[in-house]
A and B are shown apart, each in its own frame.
Chain A
Amino acid sequence: MKQTSLGRFAKRNAVPYMFLLPWLLGFFILTLYPMARSLFLSFTDYNMANEPVWIGAGNYIKMFDQNRLTGDPLYLKSLKVTFTYVFVSVPFKLVFALLIAVIMNRKLRGMSFYRAVYYIPTLLGGSVAIAVLWRKIFSKDGVINYIISALTGIQDLPGWVSNPKYALGTLIILTVWQFGSSMIIFLAGLKQISQDYYEAASVDGANKVQQFFHITIPSLTPVILFNLIMQIIGAFQAFTQAYIISGGKGDPINSTLFYTLHLYNKGFYYYEMGYASAMAWVLLFIIAILTMVIFRTSDRWVTYGTGE
């Protein structure tokens, strides 16, 4: 009796699990095991050459220890740089994406062409080529300064990339520049808003600005929530652009030392792999907490339309 039900169980599951097998193996070998392992390593001193040595919360304490010898003063710096980057670039990016989407959301000839043009920075922005270009055009003798001088007459402009005050700004501009995919998502969201709302509002005498704040924005809040979370998760993990533009070290004077850059240097330059694992877990924790907070507070500002 038991045999047959087991047999039926196996028969029912064999084929589906065959389809699921590559993903399932990947999950256990390349996700679950590495996660458990890096959690363990985060409590150890480990450099790959020797066996990991248990040091308890040592790595986690080290992050917040400002002493040069026992701690890692650069950790808080990298946290600050990353938070600044995320909380400046993401809002700007989304506001831009939304405004342009609203402007584009009309029956214009050539709309799909415009949409394509605005997507090009997103298409190319993650590449080393664009990072190299950015570093060059924002340098002291770069073309951006040339244009600013020509327009305003101001000479002796700083090298934006090499000045610690502005270097992070160039990276933020590079990120905001890539608002294309958020814009496309907003455009899709705008198409879902019923025209009846706008017609009713204009009958009631609401002008365009009022309509924007009372119809467009509330109707789009689910899309805004989605974009916000995806962009924040992505921004915390930004690496390539910071690596290339800062020469791999977060230069000048650590002003662009992104969290991921610091993690990379700790793990794969100094081979402090236990510490780097701990950093990775704190990053996961930060992202998880932020996502949760945004979700929890979202019922106060996200409105879901009734019946689709």
Chain B
Amino acid sequence: MEVRTKRKAATIATHVFIILLGVGMLYPVIWMIVSSFKPNNMIFSDPGLIPKAATLSHYVEGWDGLLNVSFGRFFLNSFFICGCSVLANIVTCSMAAYAFARLKFSLKGLWFGIMMISIMLPAHVTTIPRYVLYNTLGWMDGYLPIIMPKVFATDAFFVFLLVQFIRGLPKDLDEAATIEGCGPTGIYLRIIMPLSIPALVTTALFTFLWTWDDFFNQLLYIYSVQKFTVPLGLRMFKDNTGNSNWGAVLAMSTLSLIPCFVLFFSLQKYFVQGITTTGIKG
């Protein structure tokens, strides 16, 4: 009896600890969301999470954006880049992964080793020549420098994730399909791809999030405000109106996080799967 009460107390203590720490950790984010609804003069004098007065004006003003470009445009641009990147990664990374996981070919070991090493490669050793290359191709101030690397499956990370997944799929179906006269392309399209949907969702999810937040490449390649993405728009917005209208900056910051929240809460199990199978950085 006493052991049981002791255990119960320990469980309650754990709950309390986890909840308190969790609230502390999320405080800045919650504060940002709440403050985006507070009138400007109340934002910084008030650490509380229940606004004494609420207004939607920051969202209205913020959405107007800057230099006659609305924040909606930044969102559309970001969605466009992310959409293309997700599509490209799903097609080309899965193709490479299928070859590595299922097909036999010359030099396979060499290519696989190179692919694994390229995961660890810091991007900076390729940044400058790529920049010069894209400049020569006339791709500056456009989205091609961001999308094309995905068309060529340079996110080796996802190739690895998909290889691991495909290797775990039973081979019986492939063999049955081969007997039925199905070639490698047919097996890829009709068997491997449908069965890999969980890993493909994980790939899509992280491709979307990382492209959404990829400030470095967007900073490097996109110059005109019309073409700005959400991170670039936010930075400009902070620099230009940060001192006068913090409410609007917080409101747009909050909006910029909504796609991540929506994806996270609707596809939570794929996150955990992706992180644990490959140790996705974060």
Interface residues of A (CB under 8 A from B): 9, 12-13, 15-17, 19-27, 29-31, 33-35, 37-38, 41, 48, 100, 103-104, 106, 108, 110, 112, 114-130, 132-134, 136-137, 141-143, 146-147, 150, 177-178, 180-182, 184-185, 188, 226-227, 230-231, 233-234, 236-237, 239-240, 243-244, 260, 263-264, 267-268, 273, 276-277, 279-281, 283-284, 287, 291
Do A23 and B153 touch (CB < 8 A)? yes
Complex: A93 Cα to B151 Cα, angstroms: 34
Q: Tell me which residues from 196 to 228 in chain B have a Cβ below 8 Å from any Cβ of chain A.
A: 209-210, 212-213, 215-216, 219-220
Encoded as 1 (CB less than 8 Å from any A CB) or 0, chain B from 126 to 149 comes to: 111111110100000000000011
Docked Cα-Cα span, A237 to B119, in Å, equals 13
Residue of A26, A239, A264 ringed by the most chain B CB atoms within 10 A: A26
Contact B122 A116 (CB under 8 A): no
B231 touches A31 (CB 8 A): no
Known contacts A117-B22, A181-B280; is-contact A276 B128 (Cβ 8 Å) = yes
Contact of B249 with A132 in the complex, beta carbons under 8 Å? yes
Is the pair A129, B253 in contact by a Cβ cutoff of 8 Å? yes
| Complex alpha-carbon distance, A180 and B98, angstroms | 31
Instruction: Say what secondary structure dominates the interface of chain B.
Output: helix
Q: Does B44 contact A (CB under 8 A)?
A: yes
**Cβ of A268 and Cβ of B220 under 8 Å apart?**
yes
Question: Interface centre among A129, A137, A237, by most B CB within 10 Å?
Answer: A129
- Asked if A108 and B11 sit within 8 Å, CB to CB, the answer is yes
CA distance A41 to B130 in the complex (A): 12
Contact indicator A26/B184 (Cβ below 8 Å): no
Chain B interface (Cβ < 8 Å from any Cβ of A): 11, 14-15, 17-19, 21-22, 25-26, 28-29, 31-32, 44-45, 47, 91-93, 95-96, 98-100, 103-106, 108, 111, 114-115, 118, 120-133, 135, 148-149, 151-154, 156, 159, 183-185, 188, 209-210, 212-213, 215-216, 219-220, 230-231, 234-235, 238, 246, 249-250, 252-254, 256-257, 260-261, 264-265, 268, 271-272, 275-276, 279-282
A134 with B95: CB separation less than 8 A: no
Could you tell me the distance in whole angstroms from the C-beta of A269 to the nearest C-beta in chain B? 11
How far apart sit A126 and B282, CA to CA, in the bound complex (Å)? 8
Q: Which of A41, A125, A240 contacts B128 (CB 8 A)?
A: A41
What's the Cα separation between A283 and B151 when bound, in Å? Answer: 27
Query: CB within 8 A of A132: which of B135, B154, B234, B260?
Result: B234
Cβ of A117: which chain B residues have Cβ within 8 Å of it?
Answer: 22, 25-26
Bound complex: CA A39 to CA B246 (Å): 44
Which residues of B are found within 8 Å of A103, using beta-carbon distances? 14, 17-18
Known: A19-B99, A118-B22, A118-B25. A133 touches B152 (CB 8 A): no
Q: Are A121 and B25 in contact (CB under 8 A)?
A: yes
Known: A26-B152, A27-B114, A114-B19. 12 other contacts (CB 8 A): A26-B154, A31-B118, A34-B126, A35-B126, A100-B21, A106-B14, A118-B25, A123-B282, A129-B32, A129-B256, A147-B47, A277-B125
Given A13-B106, A19-B96, A137-B28 in contact, is the A34-B129 Cβ separation under 8 Å?
yes
Q: What A residues does B220 contact at CB under 8 A?
A: 268
Closest to B95 in A: A19
Q: Total number of A-B contacts with CB less than 8 angstroms?
A: 264
Q: B130 — nearest CB in chain A belongs to which residue?
A: A34
**Measured between alpha carbons, how far is A11 from B216 in the docked complex, in Å?**
43
- Tell me the bound Cα distance from A180 to B271 in angstroms: 11
CB–CB A41/B275 < 8 A: no
Contact indicator A15/B125 (Cβ below 8 Å): no
Residues of chain B within 8 A of A13, CB atoms compared = 105-106
Report yes or no: B99 in contact with A20, Cβ–Cβ below 8 A: yes
| Contact present for A124 and B152 (CB under 8 Å) | no
CA distance in complex: A185, B282 (Å): 11
- Complex alpha-carbon distance, A122 and B264, angstroms: 11
Closest 8 pairs (CB-CB, A-B): A26-B152, A181-B282, A129-B253, A16-B105, A34-B129, A34-B126, A23-B96, A37-B129
Question: Which residue of the partner chain B has the closest CB to A119?
Answer: B271
- Nearest Cβ on chain B to A162's Cβ, whole angstroms: 14
CB distance from A99 to the nearest CB of B (A): 10
> How many angstroms between the C-alpha atoms of A40 and B209 in the bound complex?
34
Docked-complex contact B279 and A116, CB < 8 angstroms: no
Pick from A122, A130, A244: contact of B282, CB below 8 A: A122
